[in-house]
Structure 1
Amino acid sequence: MTGIEWEEPFCGEGNNCFRLGTDAEGKAYIAVAGQENSYLVDSREALRALIAEIKAGKADHLL
């Protein structure tokens, strides 16, 4: 996990807290707050696209 700079946790309702992070190599990370040693990793562009799609409502059916 060395080299990942984590943002402050983003918490939805209840205990659903996630953290976003990036590293110097251009990778982006998503983890459950408190479990940063187990994360998903992809490019910053992929993370940006994921967030845009979520904001556009394309994941609402999962809620």
Structure 2
Amino acid sequence: MPDITWEAPFCAESSNCFRIGTDPDGNAYIAVSGQEDTYLTDTREALTTLIRDIKAGKADHLL
């Protein structure tokens, strides 16, 4: 498992929480809070765009 530094969880209005993390090589990760050992990885830019779209209500069905 890479050395991932996780940010504080982001929780929607319901009980859905997720976390964003990065590693020393600049890779970005996203995981359900509490299940950080099972994550998706992509570029930081791609995951940032995903999070912004979710916060803007464009993809709230994902939560």
TM-score of Structure 1 vs Structure 2, range by shorter chain = 0.7 to 0.9
Equivalenced residues, count? 62
Q: Structure 2 length as normaliser, TM-score?
A: 0.76
Closer, same or farther: CA 54–14 of 1 in aligned 2, 3 Å: closer
Structure 1's consecutive aligned runs of 4 or more residues displaced over 4 angstroms after TM superposition are: none
Runs of 5+ consecutive residues of structure 1 not aligned to the other structure: none
C-alpha distance after superposition, 1:9-59 (max 9, x if no partner):
111123101011011111111100110000000011211232343345432
Q: Which one has a bigger Cα radius of gyration?
A: 1
Runs of 5+ consecutive residues of structure 2 not aligned to the other structure: none
Which position in structure 2 is the counterpart of 1:17? 17
Q: Structure 1 length as normaliser, TM-score?
A: 0.76
